[in-house]
Amino acid sequence: MGRKILLEHIDVPGINTFDVYRAHGGYKAAEKALKEMSAAQVVEEVKSAGLRGRGGAGFPTGMKWSFLDKKSANPTYLVCNADESEPGTFKDRYLMEHIPHMLIEGVIISSYAIGCNTAYIYVRGEFKYIIGILNKAIREAHANGFLGNNIQGSGFNLEIHVHSGAGAYICGEETALLESLEGKRGNPRLKPPFPAVKGLYESPTVVNNVETLATVVGIINIGAATYAGIGVGKSSGTKLISACGNINKPGVYEIELGIPVEEFIYSDVYCGGIKDGKKLKAVIPGGSSVPILPQNLVCKTANGDVRLMSYESLADGGFQTGSMLGSGGFIVLDEDACVVRHTYTLARFYRHESCGQCSPCREGTGWMEKVLYRIENGEGRMHDIDLLVNISKNIEGNTICPLGDAAAWPVAAAIRHFRHEFEFHVKHPEIVKNIDHGSLEKFNI
Amino acid sequence: MSSHTAHKQYEKEGKPIAFSPEILEKVKQIIKRYPEGRQNSALLPVLHIAQEEFGGYLSVDVMDYVASLLHIKPIEVYEVSTFYTQYYPEKRGKYMIEVCHTGPCAICGGEHISKRLQEKLGVKLNQTTADGLFTIKEVECLGACGFAPVMQINTEFYEKLTPEKIDTIIDDLKQRASEPQPQQQKWVERFF
């Protein structure tokens, strides 16, 4: 078992309350930061820990903080991105539900570091119950002098407000989230200016993921040097991986970055192997947007090296033979799973979630969905397969925000590695038409 | 500013639309969480509250009322309410069933859950049963993939579903529908 920074006390009864969290070392990092460290020292600590954004992009957190426009006359805002919506990802929900005070403490320390006195936590609307949990934690932190004016006599003031989304994947993109927080449709903004210069209310803003902010607590507690010593290379520290699909033990696991993928899938400490003794077909290692890896590229890279759970190793080989760590949404497909069907459900997802602002994404996602539906239901033509590749290439890189890429990559990767399954669907309509997938939903192409 | 709506009497199904004094006080507190001149930031939270208080969907008058509270134009509310999937334009069943059909749930049998629901209730997707109790909808990822397949009924999660479990859940809800309902925590309460 590796070192636990985030989930060490997750099983302690009552850890969701202030008193129990405090009794297990909670809010010590906040005290240390606010009383013994300058804001600049906290930023430096997070930088040298090598913490990278845990939402999916993996951008260095300390660097993101240091981009803030310090000359701005407007106040600085911290916005916590709790709009967890990437299919396969459910780690932030787990963290907020079970140990909400760690997020609150992380927001306090991070706000102090960037000079923010009003922070917002943007929670996806479907997590209505989490909003209640966070507000309870905020009340308790207030009552114990960790929020409000002059926190613990440090002279630092902070209020945290919880805000709700209302069902839109796109609001996980940071500028769409800011638009939504301002009471508008979640249409992403053109960058630059970046949020660090003009974000919420045209003020300097940092948007950080839930897990990222919670990890700041651990970094202050154990020190940057110790934290940076965990993991491998530029993938330092621990990461929450939410594992799902056809495995024996779906759930949220904290891993030291750099453990072998094979260990993660087959060890009883983690996924516990493939369900019902079946064979592995493929893995989508970082949330539904990242390229699918076929079985032969899961545990080893194309060069024959052991594939590790790290930003670099999962990306080894580029998109030809690699993928991405992304959000840590680890989706496992067994030998009976149909890649075409799976790709179709993802294409449908991205069509539904496209905000409609950029035509390549608005038109392209719907087009891919329809072509995939046609192939999946035995009406496909052989040239449809290359048509899909063509559409995906015309979306990729041609949109304001990364949703276009996120929609294009899974389709392109599925055809790259599983073209034979697509061809099978075209060649054998009589077989694919008679498979019972359940839902009666049908639409006319 | 929408002065032309400020004195309008809002109505829905013959009843005047207005938050109770207690809820209005809380809504005002929520609005104050955002900086001066940025009241419209409270739009998404206030729409959730309004939808729950006024019959589970957003009629034009309800949206106009919310616009008047936030001092914004009605169109600014309409364009937001139509963007987000959790705001409903029409009346729906007492129990709104939302079944996830995205990748991870689909490979764990989510679409069979949807099928069983439709068979059991005798309605198709996006339809409401004749007794007004159930509406079924297929939705995109609910962020609970480790417990797949999942569905939400009025924002309560139901996880690791099987077609057999569906029968039990529906029978149970049908039975409970006529009994006094346990008070669920309302939207407005969760913001405090």
Picking from A159, A184, A355, the nearest residue to B80 by CB comes out as A184
Residues A302 and A431 in one domain: no
Contact A126 B142 (CB under 8 A): yes
- Dihedral angle, C-alpha B124, B125, B130, B132, nearest 10 °: 160
Query: Which of A244, A331, A342 would you mutate first to test chain B, the one with the most B CBs within 10 A?
Result: A244
Q: Is A47 within a domain?
A: yes
Please give the order of strands across the beta sheet that includes B151-153: B134-139, B95-100, B151-153, B156-158
Burial of A117 (0-12, 13-18, 19+ CB in 10 A): middle
Scanning every residue of chain A, which has its alpha carbon at the shortest distance from the alpha carbon of B104?
A245
Q: Is residue A2 part of a domain?
A: no
pLDDT of residue B8: 67
Two tokens at B165?
């479990």
Contact residues, chain A, for B38 at CB < 8 Å: 182, 201
Q: Which DSSP state fits B16?
A: E
Residues A182 and A90 reside in one and the same domain: yes
Indicate which of B107, B159, B160, B192 best probes the interface with A, i.e. most A CBs within 10 Å of its own CB. Answer: B107
Tell me whether residues A183 and B80 touch, CB distance under 8 A: yes
**Do B46 and B86 contact (CB within 8 A), yes or no?**
no
Chain A residue numbers with beta carbons less than 8 Å from the beta carbon of B192 are: 135, 139
Find chain A residues with C-beta within 8 A of B87's C-beta.
166-167
Q: How far is CA A350 from CA A24, A91, A333, A442, B100, in A?
A: 42, 21, 20, 18, 14
Contact A182 B41 (CB under 8 A): yes
- Residues from chain A that touch B139, judged by Cβ atoms under 8 A, are 167
Q: Which residue of A has its CA nearest to B163?
A: A438
Which of B111, B148, B190 faces A438 most closely, judged by CB atoms?
A: B111
Please tell me the distance in Å from A148's CA to the nearest CA on chain B: 13
| Token output for B142 | 């609910």
Work out the burial of residue B156: count CB atoms within 10 Å of its CB; fewer than 13 is exposed, 13-18 middle, 19 or more buried: exposed
Question: Residue B3 pLDDT more than 50?
Answer: no
CA dist., res. B148 & res. A247, Å (int): 11
pLDDT digits (tens, 9 = 90+) for B111-134: 899 999 999 999 999 999 999 999
A441 contacts in chain B (CB < 8 Å): 101, 114, 125, 138
Note the pLDDT of residue A439: 66
Contacts B34 to A, Cβ<8 Å: 161
Quick check: helix, strand or coil at residue B174? helix
Looking at the structure, tell me whether residues A137 and A240 fall in a common domain: no
Using CB atoms, which residue from B84, B118, B192 is nearest to A167? B84
Residue B1 confidence (pLDDT)? 43
Delineate the domains of chain B, giving CATH numbers in brackets: 11-83 (no CATH), 95-176 (3.40.30.10)
Smallest CA–CA distance, residue B112 to chain A, in Å, is 4
By residue range, what is the domain housing residue A391?
339-443
User: How many structural domains is chain A composed of?
Assistant: 3
Can you tell me the distance from the alpha carbon of B62 to that of B64, in angstroms, rounded to the nearest whole number?
5
B75 to chain A, any CB pair closer than 8 A? The answer is no
Q: Tell if the CB–CB gap between A131 and B85 is shorter than 8 Å.
A: no
State whether residue B151 sits within 8 Å of chain A by CB: no
Count of pairs with CB atoms under 8 A, one residue in A, one in B: 181
> Cβ separation of A250 and B140 shorter than 8 Å?
no
Q: Do A166 and B86 touch (CB under 8 A)?
A: yes
CA-based nearest residue in chain A for residue B156: A129
Does A66 fall in a domain? yes
Compute the nearest-CA separation of A49 from chain B (Å). 29
Q: Which residues of B touch A185 (CB under 8 A)?
A: 79-80, 83
Structure confidence by residue, pLDDT tens digits, B158-189: 999 999 999 999 999 999 888 877 667 899 99
Kindly state whether residues A267 and A213 are assigned to the same domain.
Answer: no
Tokens of A104: 């609150």
Specify whether A80 is located in the same domain as A178. Answer: yes
* Contacts B110 to A, Cβ<8 Å: 438
Residues of B in contact with A351 (CB under 8 A): none
Element housing A241 (H / E): strand A238-245
Residue A13 lies in a domain: no
**Coarse DSSP helix, strand, coil percentages of chain A, rounded to the nearest 5 percent:** 45, 15, 40
Nearest CA in chain B to A181: B41
Dihedral (C-alpha) B144, B149, B152, B156: value to the nearest 10 degrees? -60
Spatial contact of A188 and A173, defined as CB atoms under 8 Å apart: yes
B15-19, B177-181, B188-192 — most confident range:
B188-192
Q: d(Cα A48, Cα A226) in Å, to the nearest integer?
A: 10
Task: Note whether residue A303 is domain-resident.
Answer: yes
Which secondary-structure segment (H or E) carries A81? strand A76-82
The values of phi and psi at residue A439, to 5°, are -45, 140
Do the domain assignments include residue A150?
yes
In terms of domains, do A149 and A218 share one? yes
B174 vs A189: CA distance, rounded Å:
46
Q: Does B130 touch chain A (CB under 8 A)?
A: no
Q: Give domain status of residue A314, yes or no.
A: yes
Q: What pTM, to 2 d.p., does this model score?
A: 0.95
* Yes or no, beta carbons of B70 and A183 under 8 Å apart: yes
How close does chain A come to B18, measured CA to CA in Å? 21
Ramachandran region, residue A131 (left: φ > 0; alpha: ψ -120 to 50; beta: rest): alpha
- Angstrom distance (rounded) from CA A386 to CA B67: 49
Minimal Cα distance from B102: which residue of A?
A345
**Cβ A438–B109 below 8 Å, yes or no?**
yes
Is the pLDDT at B18 greater than 80? The verdict is: yes
Element at A346 (helix H, strand E): helix A339-353
Look at residue B154 in the predicted model and tell me its pLDDT: 87
- Rounded to the nearest angstrom, the minimum Cα separation between B65 and chain A is 16
* CA dist B9 → B15, B52, B53, B68 (Å): 10, 20, 17, 11
Give the one of B112, B146, B190 whose C-beta lies nearest to A128's C-beta: B190
Rounded to a whole number of angstroms, the distance from the CA of A438 to the nearest CA of chain B is 4
Chain B nearest C-alpha distance from A223 (Å) = 32
Domain boundary, last residue among A205, A229, A253:
A229
Q: List Cβ neighbours of A429 (8 Å cut-off, separation of 6 or more).
A: A378, A379, A380
In one-letter notation, the amino acid at residue A96 is M
B160: left (phi over 0), alpha (psi -120 to 50) or beta: left
**Size (chain A), residues:** 445
Strands (E), B50-187: 95-100, 134-139, 151-153, 156-158
pLDDT of amino acid B9: 74
CB contact under 8 A, A85 and B191: no
Residues A209 and A260 in one domain: no
Helices vs strands, H then E, count in chain A: 18, 11
Co-location of A327 and A349 in the same domain: no
Considering A304, A334, A364, which residue would you say is the last residue of a domain?
A334
- State whether A206 and A320 are in the same domain: no
Query: B77 with B66: CB under 8 angstroms?
Result: yes
Cβ pair B140:A352 closer than 8 A = yes
Q: Are A40 and A58 within one domain? A: yes
Of A334, A359, A388, the last residue of a domain is: A334
Contact (CB, 8 A) for A333 and A390:
no
Q: List all residues 6 or more positions away from B93 whose beta carbon is below 8 Å from its beta carbon.
A: B128, B129, B132, B133, B134, B135
The sign of the dihedral angle between the CA atoms of A269, A275, A281, A286 is: negative
- Determine contact, residues A181/B62, Cβ cutoff 8 Å: no
Distance CA(A276)–CA(B62), nearest Å, equals 51
In this structure, the answer to whether residues A267 and A217 fall within a common structural domain is no
**Residue appearing with tokens 């005070």:** A101
Whose structure tokens read 């930031």?
B41
Q: Which of B153, B173, B150 is nearest to B97 (CA)?
A: B153
Which CATH number fits the domain that encloses residue A144?
A: 3.40.50.11540
Where chain A has pLDDT below 50, the residues are 444-445
Q: Is the pLDDT of residue B190 over 50?
A: yes
Report the CATH number at residue A383: 1.20.1440.230
Distance CA A360, CA A382 (A): 23
Do A107 and A174 belong together in one domain? yes
Residue B83: closest C-alpha in chain A: A185
**In CATH, what number is assigned to the domain containing residue A246?**
3.10.20.600
Phi and psi based region of residue A115 (left: phi greater than 0; alpha: psi -120 to 50; beta: remaining): left
Q: Locate tokens 């919670």: which residue? A: A214
Let me know if residue A34 belongs to a domain.
Answer: yes
The kind and range of the H/E element at A252 are: strand A251-256
The closest CB to that of B140, out of A169, A252, A439, belongs to A169
Which of residues 28 through 57 in chain B touch A, CB cutoff 8 A? 33-35, 38, 40-45, 47-48
Interatomic CA distance for residues A176 and A83, integer angstroms: 11
Q: Which residues contact B22 (CB under 8 A, 6 or more apart)?
A: none
CA dihedral A296, A300, A305, A309 (to 10 degrees): 160
